[in-house]
Amino acid sequence: MTDQNPDTMEVDRPKPEVDVDQSNQLKAEANELFKLEKYPDAIDLYSKAIDFNPTNAVLYANRSISHLKVESFGYALADANKAIECDKNYLKAYYRRAAAHMALGKYKMALKDYEIVYKLIPANKDAKTKFTLIPANKDAKTKFTECKKIVQTIAFHKAIAIEEKVKAVADEIDIDGITVEDSYDGPRLQEGKVTVEFMTQLLEHFKAQKKLHRKFALKILYDIKQYFQAQSSLVDIKVGDGKKFTICGDIHGQYYDLMNIFSLNGQPSEENPYLFNGDFVDRGSFSVECIFALFGFKLLYPDHFFMSRGNHESENMNKMYGFEGEVKAKYSSQMVDFFTEVYNWLPLAHCINNKILVMHGGLFSKDGVTLDDIRKTERNRQPPEEGIMCELLWSDPQGMQGRSASKRGVGCQFGPDVTERFLENNGLDYIVRSHEVKENGYELMHDGKCITVFSAPNYCDTMGNKGAFITLKGGDLRPEFTSYVHVPHPNVKPMAYANSLLSLFG
């Protein structure tokens, strides 16, 4: 997910003469918008303030954190670098750059910036200096220490992987040997299988904020991994003439809004098939409930319920944005590793009736990619920083022709001409993707040939957006859009399980 205005930093506007007073006025207005969590609007005003005073490091740092808020990590990194270029002693800019590096999974580079802040920030700040604008020395040390632990942990796991073949979690667990306590009053698998009765009970069990027993949770993960391992990276879906099919976008741990989708559009069944297009978890604090509900329906209706991998079905994202912390709180570290194994086997894209390609992110940094290239893509891994898999999970459309560097720092941005050539070369009618908040939950770009659908309304309890889903029928495959508002959820805030390093975004 990221902001609703992807071309903010790409706009070519006439540069006014330096006017510090005008710049400061725009900065003050932008600061107020930031406080109101209107980040795209704040970005626009910070950009105008920069035009009037292009050497002010504070403006770039403020725009950087605004980009961090909307997950435009590439832009956030560029602004932090510019702030440091303007004033190499402005330590707050190093905080911003560290946060951008963390968000991009570049932990060693983040550690270098935290070290700069930790070692250079004065222990006793002069109230008249700019150092009053940054966290205290104690906080700087904490961030440095936490980031260092992450770097050391990653290095340790890599060393182990080199020295010995690490066994899969699925091969180490004796599920049959796990005892279900008499006090457990939740749903139970029938002879180890998901049934309609199990799913009905599970959804209500989760609504009541109760936990699925570890034995059944592990069995679902074991079975779903076996299923996904047998699938192609590109799954073909056939929808019969006149038959209904539904596509949903990002859910992001908003379980009660997921239940609202089923209330509005009917629960999944063989007559009511669904495709959920990635980012099932993170941010929202009911991600465990979401993923087990979705995996349960996949096992119950394997040929009528589909799931694509999103950029948040990855180790780095889960470590930062809450899913890892939530799984540890509700289950265990071992189950975190099991989820990672499962996510590595999620399909990367789906093709409906040979006419609609559905992926989480978007298209590619070069022409000539075919559906067969996607089918052949090796996916049993963490998302790489470039190539077909990366771009399927991370890319975004843009209004202008051609391609440009990604606002996220990963993937690319692609224009209507890129979409047109890809569709023509592969005999497709249009593409559907998710990955971005939209005011009404959906957006049509590129002459209607690139459709975005986002299904998490009032994202993170702050954005005020609607959610949406797409319904179509086999035959004409014409998309119909249903928008909806958020529903109440228990008093557990989004990001409740997120990594403490994300406090830098505040």
Residues labelled catalytic: 312
Four-residue CA torsion sign, 251, 275, 313, 396: negative
Tokens of 261: 């989708």
* Angle, CA 400 vertex, CA 396 and CA 403 arms, to 5°: 55
Tokens of 2: 């990221």
Alpha carbons 382 and 364: distance in angstroms, whole number:
18
Residue that has been written with the tokens 């704040």 in this structure: 42
**HSE-CB for 478 with a 13 A CA cutoff:** 2
3-state secondary structure of 36: coil
Tokens of 225: 């991994």
Four-residue CA torsion sign, 255, 259, 264, 269: positive
Tokens of 319: 């470590």
Closest residue by Cα to residue 91 from 127, 39, 136: 136
Q: Is residue 125 exposed (0-12), middle (13-18) or buried (19+ Cβ within 10 Å)?
A: middle
* Angle, CA 213 vertex, CA 207 and CA 215 arms, to 5°: 145
Q: Contact 188/216 with Cβ under 8 angstroms?
A: yes
* Angle, CA 478 vertex, CA 476 and CA 481 arms, to 5°: 155
